[in-house]
Amino acid sequence: NKITFDYSNAVPFINEKDMINIEASIHKAHEHLHKRDKNASDALGWVDLPEQYDRTEFKRIEKAAEKIRSDSDVLIVIGVGGSYLGSKAAIDSLSHTFRNQLKPEKRNGPEIYFAGHHFSQSYLKDLIDVIQDKEVSINVISKSGTTTEPAIAFRLLRDYLEKKYGREEAAHRIYATTDKEKGALKHMASLHGYETFTVPDDVGGRYSVLTAVGLLPIAAAGLDIKRMMEGAQEAKKQLSEKSISKNDAYQYAACRYLLYKQHKVMEMLVNYEPKLHYVSEWWKQLFAESEGKDGKGLFPVSAGFSTDLHSIGQYIQEGHRHMFETVLHIESNTENITVRETEDNSDGLNYLSGKSLHDINQKAFIGALYAHTDGEVPNLVLSIPKLNEYYFGYLVYFFEKACAMSGSLLGVNPFNQPGVEAYKKNMFALLGKPGYEKEAEILLRRTKK
């Protein structure tokens, strides 16, 4: 009932002595993560969340999801960063690969589309084309309630909804997930009477998938959010061990730190299942925003194998030796597609007859694991018994715990993201947002040079 971590393929870069030496720093950070008198500014609400979540709100999430499932062909989830990556990761990894293209009776809930995570004009136009003649609901998600990408998408899509249904009916089809009292989105929700869900004060955006932020879209997709919370609860139990030898998340964090210290400055999260693509996207945000600051941090990248073994595989095997891999290894698969024997064996594949694609994928995994390790790319392996809601919840908590610990080992604050403001300041100045006049002047002089 757990996800296991194995660093035996990272030897000789990591040895038991290193693990013993790092234990004191782990204990210190552990005490901080589990301290009793937490306050909102510590941003540690996610630590106890799997056990201490708001049950009343959880019931409201289930009820809203039921309503969306009964009155909508389409749900549009508007949000960026931590406000969409977690639900996208869950829905993609746990649903049919072509979920939105399935006939309604096979799909299990509405088609789900994401918006407000960029400024692309053609994406929004194409989305509006796709939802024509369909019944639509919107879940707009922004913890701050003021982020520009989702705010613009919401203004445009709300307009579409109000034209289609009229203001009153549209308001019954809009669900807002945001701060309990502040921000423009909260204000709009109160003004127009949208049902609202809360992002707890002490849970940061990228740690929020197990709050209403992730749970409402995930439940609307027909997935079992109770089971997901049970998986996270089990992870919480297993990963509250102080001792590094008993805590896989702390071992993973320690390995990352020790490899970083040996100039392995890039971590590649590898999967062998295309459905996991957005799990990697979620993971990249979690680690990049948490650790990449003060001139420090591993650079998180991702790859889907075996596809990418035919593109970046050459570099991994023989290029600059500055990376390690963390492999998400899914142990079992319920589908069973096997290679059958043919009489003429003209494609030469009879040696595979009777083998399933899953078996072949497993051999690709072992083959790449040994080849890359031999090529001095240390490999860390996370074994996940199977892809389901329970293990998704477990995995989320595993990475959150490991990320918080990694940040502490590195000596950075894993819960802020001051660096993302720099581009916003320039963009606002260039767009003429009130309050950015000085910056606009400086930028204007720069562009004239």
Let me know how long the chain is: 449
Closest separation in Å from C-beta 85 to ligand PA5: 8
Choose one: 1-9, 203-211, 312-320, 331-339; the region binding ligand PA5 (CB under 6 A).
203-211
297 binds ligand PA5 (CB under 6 A): no
Determine, following the binding rule CB under 6 A, whether residue 144 of this chain makes contact with ligand PA5: yes
**Least Å distance between CB 176 and ligand PA5?**
12
Find the binder of ligand PA5 among 30, 143, 173, 401 (CB under 6 A). 143
Select from 205, 217, 231, 414 the one that contacts ligand PA5 (CB under 6 A). Answer: 205
* Residue 139 binds ligand PA5, judged by CB under 6 A: no
Q: Which of 10, 64, 80, 382 binds ligand PA5 (CB under 6 A)?
A: 80
Tell me if 78 contacts ligand PA5 by CB under 6 A: no
Nearer Cβ to ligand PA5 (138/387): 138
404 makes contact with ligand PA5 (CB under 6 A):
no
User: How far apart are CB 118 and ligand PA5 at their closest, in Å?
Assistant: 13
Selected catalytic residue, list 289, 291, 325, 389: 289
Fill in the amino acid letter for 200.
P
Catalytic choice (424, 425, 437, 441):
424
289 catalytic per annotation: yes
Q: What token pair was written down for 56?
A: 């009343």
Please provide the DSSP assignment of 246-287 as one string.
Answer: G-HHHHHHHHHHHHHHTT--EEEEEES-GGGHHHHHHHHHHH
Which DSSP helix (H) or strand (E) runs through 328? strand 323-330
CB count, 10 Å around CB of 43?
20
Q: Which is nearer to ligand PA5, 81 or 110 (CB)?
A: 81
| Biggest CA pair distance of the chain | 77
By the 8 A CB rule, do 316 and 431 touch?
Answer: no
Tell me the C-alpha distance between 3 and 80, whole Å. 28
Q: Which is nearer to ligand PA5, 279 or 381 (CB)?
A: 279
Q: What does the alpha-carbon distance between residue 215 and residue 404 come to, in Å, rounded to a whole number?
A: 22
What is the nearest approach in angstroms of ligand PA5 to the Cβ of residue 143? 4
Look at the block and give the residue holding tokens 């970046």.
312
How many angstroms separate the CA atoms of 244 and 29, rounded?
A: 12
Concatenated DSSP letters for 107-122? HSS-EEEEESSS--HH
Partners of residue 39 on adjacent β-strands: none
> How far apart are CB 147 and ligand PA5 at their closest, in Å?
3
Binding site for ligand PA5 (CB under 6 A): 80-83, 142-144, 147, 150, 204-206, 289, 417
- Catalytic residue ranges: 289, 424
